[in-house]
Amino acid sequence: MPLAELGRAVVRVAIAAAVSLTLVSCSASQGAPSPSASSEQPSTDQPVSDSPSVHAPIRYVALGDSFTAGPYLTPYAKDGDTCLRSAANYPALVAARLQVASFVDVSCAAASTLDLAHGQRALLGGRLAPPQLAAVSKDTDLVTIGIGGNDEGLFGSIVGACLGAGQAGCPRQFDDPSVLAARLASARRVEQSVGLGLQEIRRRAPDARILVVGYPVLLPASGTCAKAGFPAADYPAMRRIEATLNSSLRRAAEANDATYVDLATASRGHDICAGRDAWVNGAHSVPGKALAFHPFHSGMRGAADAIEAAL
């Protein structure tokens, strides 16, 4: 698909991403799979671990948006093409490291908290993905959930404008204080929506260990860089939105007997501007490596490390 269409698609998705985004299918020359003709099914791909097993086998279900699914990361999950789900995302790494007895990954790019219970329109092929909570049962031992950045278009509304701008870079988005106020309000409401999702997970899997996985930092604590694409004047607003979103996820976890995995802290020094140390891609998608504003393989490994440490 042409790059212009990729930019428009991202606006529909949102970072989550997502913070996750709608995307486009990679062409055969880019190395991405074409959409499957069958209906979307949970992923059971378990790539070779980059870490030895340290835990007893468990029944693991992964829920989330594009920051969990890993769009553009190779290898691709054989049944995850409509959700741009990678077989090298952090759920797959955790499953392999822990040598789980069973593994179901229903993370999907563009997913919001509404999709936990109601399902969503698949990114590719026009099919409706099943509700993510349908994968959770009384036999589930471990659930990870990384979601919220797509609620109310929170992430996509910001980065979508950047991708649509092409080489000109991102336009200024926070000149009007009311725009930032609205985005912060959306980020705060994530606490309630994720909390309701956690309550339903607990109802379905009363004995499961539940981990809420936060978002990695996109921008450094100070300074700017061309790779991120954002106007320097927007950096403070972006940092506030990121921090508010992660605070909402932390509070939701604490209020609902879940463990919060603090990727913001773990990813310090690994933001978009960190060069070779970056865990997150900048404003230009790289097929096989990362969608724009989404984690590289290194970011997925960092998330898996943080989850393993939390366990």
Q: Give catalytic status of residue 297 as yes or no.
A: no
Q: Which of 251, 96, 94, 272 is nearest to 188 (CA)?
A: 251
SS3 at position 234: helix
The packing angle between helices 177-204 and 235-255, to 10°, is 20
What one-character-per-residue DSSP string does 147-176 give? --TTGGGTTHHHHHHHHHTGGG-PPP--SS
Q: What are phi and psi of 282, to 5 degrees?
A: -90, -150
Q: Cα–Cα distance between 200 and 184 in angstroms, integer?
A: 26
- Active-site option among 66, 86, 248, 285: 66
Give the pairing of strands 142-146 and 209-213. parallel
Query: Using omega within 30 degrees of 0 as the cis cutoff, is the peptide bond preceding 231 cis?
Result: no
Instruction: Give the Cα separation of 211 and 208 in Å (integer).
Output: 10
Residue 63's H or E segment, with its range, is strand 59-64
Length of the chain: 311
User: DSSP letter at 290?
Assistant: B
Q: Are strands 259-261 and 209-213 parallel, antiparallel or unpaired?
A: parallel
CA distance 220 to 66: 21
Known catalytic membership, residue 294 = yes
Enumerate the H helices of 206-234 as residue ranges. Answer: none
Catalytic residue of the set 267, 270, 285, 294: 294
So which residues are the catalytic ones?
A: 66, 294
